[in-house]
Amino acid sequence: MATAKPDISFGVFVKQKRERLGKSVRGLASEIGITPAYLSDIERNNRKSPENFLKKMIEVLEISGDDVDTFYDLAGQSRNNNYPDLSDYIGSTPIARVALRKARDLEISDSQWEEFIKGIDRSK
C-alpha cells in the first residue's frame, strides 16, 4: 500500500507518458493549452509543474489509478513540496491540519499510516 518515492522527476514522468502515447511535444502542448517551449522546459525540469494545467495533463496523458498519485507527488516535489492536489483541502479543513500536526509530532510510522488508510477504505 505504501507508495515509494518515485526515482524520476515530474518532467521525465510527463515525457515518458507523452512518448508512450506517441505524441509530439507540439501536439501535446496544443492539447494542454501551453506552448511547446513551455512543455519542453517542463520535460527538461527547467520549469515547475504548471498548477493551472495539471488536471488537463492528467486527461490528455491518460493518467489513471495509482499513476495519478505519482503524478501529483512528482508535481508537488517540483514545486518545493507544495502538493497542488492537497493544498486547498488541507487549507480549508482545520481538523486535517490538527491530525497532520499530531502525526508529525508523534512521528507516526508508515505502518501506522497504512492502518489508518485501511480504516478509511473500510468505511467507504
What is the per-residue pLDDT across 68-79, written as a single tens digit (0 to 9) for each? Answer: 999 999 999 999
If asked whether residues 75 and 99 sit together in one domain, one would say: no
Q: What is the CATH number of the domain that holds 24?
A: 1.10.260.40
Identify which has the larger pLDDT, 123 or 4.
123
pTM: 0.83
Query: How is residue 59 written as a grid cell?
Result: 486527461
Q: Residue 2's pLDDT is what?
A: 46
The pLDDT of residue 5 is above 60: no
If asked whether residues 61 and 90 sit together in one domain, one would say: no
Q: What is the mean pLDDT of the chain?
A: 93
If asked whether residues 121 and 77 sit together in one domain, one would say: no
If asked whether residues 48 and 64 sit together in one domain, one would say: yes
The pLDDT of residue 22 is above 70: yes
**Arithmetic mean of pLDDT, 96-100:** 96
> In terms of residue numbers, what domain contains 76?
1-83
Query: How is residue 122 written as a grid cell?
Result: 473500510
Say how many domains are in the chain. Answer: 2
